[in-house]
Chain A
């Protein structure tokens, strides 16, 4: 091409249009495009790269502990130790696990062969999806935003991180500091509110991971449908807590109190409400009162380890929920500080305000039921929750609750702690969500598990049975080869035994 042609082509309408469009692109579009380009260079594929990024993420969490804790203090009034215990410790564990296991997770996974594939290479190959979008929540802004990121990085993707604007201090710190540790093209942080999130959701991703409410979950899924983008939705619901009258109430109520009032009740898996027989209601109340005092002193408001409601809107929402119910513990509040005391409501009815939505606050209603039958019925009349809690020493009762209800997870005799068992998939069902993560499940969720069958161009005669003209005798062969599910393991053992027997016979003869 001559110089004149080259100059001319540099100034074609296409170029102008392209530059013009480039200027017209939104910030969100640019970020996504840059991430896509970065992904297409292929640099996230080598395991060394992913481990390097994960190690950097680990350094971030340990070096910037103070910045993170300060931000969470300002957002949720959580103490420094509280932040470590409930936000970053789990994150560190997940990063370490991913680094340790990545080679195993990312390796080809051989599968069971059949007669027709006995000489072939048959396996499932985990692959990156591409560019994923992670929309975080505000209640554990670091845990629920970065834990999915661990899976996304481990699986070899690029990831756009959108922290919740409702926890603005954490969002700001994430935006400022994360790019100092992670590749800023592959893992950009995009802050903003509703309109920025909507703009992001218009872009095309290879997976969208959302943590938040069911109402917004529907909108996220709808937006994803436009691009046939698969989604993981970690939503919520009212997690019921059944207390059997025969259990050790002191210990049960201690654990429930802890589970409820951590982070001021703003936990997706907090025990939302209690179901128990009326004969133990008073005792339950007293035990909870005792535990509240033990954990948060007589004056939770001044106590370092008791949090605050995230903002005034939620403060008003939670306060309004108490209307019409009997407060038996707590109830004090201070709007200027978004403070609500650890509160227990008794003799709550199904129609009361507090039972109409997920509480997500430090208000613990007790609903009396006649026994486990009624409790199971009560639970089943409602949306499937993220978790069902049951406190009972009776294994049969626990098994009944498991068999006759459905929920994301079931935890007997404690609260929250299933979250830390990375071998257990963490996720909801029905209204409480779809998909799951933690540990290897995060890796799988952000991967495409691609079926691979590598055959050879030999043994073509075997294939005759499948080619037209289709005859009855060919059909018989096909039937035999496809339907006889021979246990190849057993076959191998039989073969070994036969070989062994033959060898023995030979040796005996020779001797």
Chain B
């Protein structure tokens, strides 16, 4: 048996003991995970610095803070999430117990990505643990240092049989994908997403695919361009543009292009100083392959800001491209780097058309003071999520489902959605063996009269809430009438 087969088999055996099911176990594991982030901050930051040149505070802000929040939320709400969920009854089930029971799926596979290795690998794990599953964690090999730290540290805090870390590259991942899981959670690109889903199909394994795309950013000429560009610049150059929900490109009218360029330039200077290369808060491209990929994209466009680079450090300056054409190289794939193309377009109509001609993105950004413009954008386009007048921050709202649609993915998570995504929501109907008489209408021989009764029971969908209230009101009215009568009855 291969190493991967063994890890999965062990996880399944551990799951079958039933020990991941009690809420106390799940909470304990989550609390241990919490301790990991408190106690091992330095090791985590060091590894991220080596992988992505992110500063220690940057790592906290963008990777571990969100995780801490999600773990705290899961611990606090687990009882509520895992409890049976009563549902609306109908006339036929009025005396029965009817509810949805969240249950673990079994053994899930979590395939992480390299851009926010802790956030996108551990956040799904939180949901997996909370939902009572075992989980095989496969960190991305592209962020080599972090993968190593994850492999070393996780088993020191959480159950190493239930939640093993399996490191490796393409062949190891393929071997993992040959095993049978009860759910696969993948974060990465659409091309590999298809392969994952195909592999999952062989076992009828449901999947969550958090993919990417080119997230458009429309800037209305009437908005506060200074603030807008500040927020866009932050959203773009965080992690050197290597964010699945980074604003990929800007659409704006030609009349404001100069201003946009100037404001973005100003924000770049505010954030990353005159020399981003030496600024501790400015990152690096993950490796040389991606460095070359991104640099090649600049070839047929005009650089308005930045453009300087250093292959030996995988450094690309915060860059803005102007007057970019739809056919340009930079518009043919998700950039995932610190290049911000501006495409001048005629107005909102053209922007909407442009967006709709392309694959549905993970995020859609629109900067405008006009509610009407926002409404049109939302109504006439589709995307995983929509954020007006800011970038990235919808990610931190755990009551919002985070996920894509179409090419940008399927399924969603964060907060309760993580729990639901990695659970089976099982319908339960508990009847009694009494009142068999009511069932006569369904048994053969099928007569019109019986059918009439069935019709009544199945189609009359009274709002039992309303019915209940009416019943109460009637009783109240009767009691009131009785009381009044007694009071005013002539002696």
Q: Give the B-binding residues of A (Cβ under 8 A).
A: 42, 45, 79, 81-82, 84-85, 89-90, 92-93, 96-97, 100, 111-114, 116-117, 122, 124-125, 127, 129-130, 206, 214, 217-219, 221-222, 224-226, 228, 230, 233, 235, 247-248, 251-252, 254-255, 258, 294-296, 303-306, 391, 393, 395, 398, 402, 406-414, 417-418, 420-426, 429-431, 433-436, 448-457, 460, 463, 466-472, 474-475, 478-479, 482-483, 485
Contact = CB atoms under 8 A, between A and B. Distances in A.
17 contacts: A89-B451, A393-B433, A406-B426, A411-B429, A424-B98, A434-B204, A449-B401, A451-B386, A451-B400, A453-B385, A453-B393, A455-B389, A457-B389, A463-B234, A466-B61, A467-B230, A485-B72
Interface of A is mostly: mixed
Contacts of B431: 411-414, 417
> Which of A89, A125, A426, A451 counts the most chain B CB atoms within 10 A?
A451
A453 B206 contact: no
B114 to A, nearest CB: 21
A429 B92 contact: no
B227 A457 contact: yes
Contacts of A456: 369, 389
- Of the listed residues B198, B223, B367, the one surrounded by the most CB atoms of chain A closer than 10 A to its CB is B198
Contact of B193 (A122, A228, A247, A436): A228
Contacts of B65: 478-479, 482-483
A187 B220 CA distance: 38
B428 interface: yes
Contact of B100 (A90, A217, A304, A424): A424
Given A89-B455, A425-B100, A122 B400 contact: yes
Interface residues of B, number: 109
B202 A218 contact: yes
Contacts, number: 293
B430 A467 contact: no
B197 to A, nearest CB: 4
A96 B401 CA distance: 29
Contacts of A92: 459
B451 to A, nearest CB: 5
B204 A90 contact: no
B126 interface: no
Interface centre among B61, B88, B279 (most CB of A within 10 A): B61
A423 B89 contact: yes
Interface of B: 55, 57-58, 60-61, 65-66, 68-69, 72-73, 76, 87-90, 92-93, 98, 100-101, 103, 105-106, 182, 190, 193-195, 197-198, 200-202, 204, 206, 209, 211, 223-224, 227-228, 230-231, 234, 270-272, 279-282, 367, 369, 374, 378-380, 382-390, 393-394, 396-402, 405-407, 409-412, 424-433, 436, 439, 442-448, 450-451, 454-455, 458-459, 461
B197 A478 contact: no
Max chain B C-beta neighbours (<10 A), residue from A296, A395, A430: A430
Contact of A457 (B60, B228, B428): B228
Given A228-B209, A451-B394, A453-B386, A221 B204 contact: yes
B388 A305 contact: no
Nearest to A291: B443
Contacts of A222: 198, 201-202
A129 B428 CA distance: 29
Contacts of A422: 90
Contacts of B407: 228
A399 to B, nearest CB: 9
A89 B459 contact: yes
B412 A449 contact: yes
Contact of A454 (B389, B433, B451): B389
Nearest to B276: A468
Chain B CB within 10 Å, residue with most, of A92, A248, A406: A406
Which 3 residue pairs of A and B lie closest in terms of their CB atoms, listed nearest first?
Answer: A81-B446, A225-B197, A221-B201
Nearest to A249: B433
A413 B386 contact: no
B443 A258 contact: yes
A296 B57 CA distance: 76
Contact of B223 (A305, A413, A457, A463): A457
A50 to B, nearest CB: 15
A452 B202 contact: no
Contacts of B57: 470-472, 474-475
Given A122-B397, A436-B425, A460-B227, A475 B436 contact: no
Contact of A410 (B200, B271, B426, B450): B426
Contacts of A407: 426
Task: Give the secondary structure class of B's interface.
Answer: mixed
Nearest to A448: B405
Contacts of A112: 399
A435 B234 CA distance: 38
Nearest to A306: B444
A456 B367 CA distance: 9
A235 B202 CA distance: 14
A156 B431 CA distance: 36
A20 B155 CA distance: 62
B170 to A, nearest CB: 18
Nearest to A227: B194
Contacts of B227: 457, 460
Given A127-B382, A225-B194, A472-B57, A424 B388 contact: no
B399 A421 contact: no
A1 to B, nearest CB: 20
B401 A468 contact: no
Given A84-B451, A97-B461, A228-B407, A453 B193 contact: no
Contacts of B388: 452-455
Nearest to A78: B446
Contacts of A81: 446-448, 450-451
B374 A454 contact: yes
Contacts of B234: 463, 466-467
A450 B384 contact: yes
B281 A434 contact: no
Contacts of B272: 468
Contacts of B69: 482-483, 485
Contacts of B455: 89
Given A418-B427, A451-B386, A482-B66, 17 more contacts: A81-B446, A82-B444, A89-B458, A90-B458, A125-B386, A222-B202, A225-B195, A225-B201, A251-B433, A294-B443, A305-B444, A410-B427, A412-B430, A453-B385, A468-B272, A469-B279, A469-B280
B443 A295 contact: yes
Kindly name the residue among B58, B271, B430 whose own CB sees the greatest number of chain A CB atoms within 10 A: B430
Given A125-B378, A295-B443, A451 B384 contact: yes
Contact of B439 (A97, A255, A454): A255
Contacts of A305: 444-446
Contacts of B90: 420-423
Contacts of B409: 228
A218 B433 contact: no
A483 B68 contact: yes
Contacts of A226: 194, 198
Contact of B281 (A255, A306, A469): A469
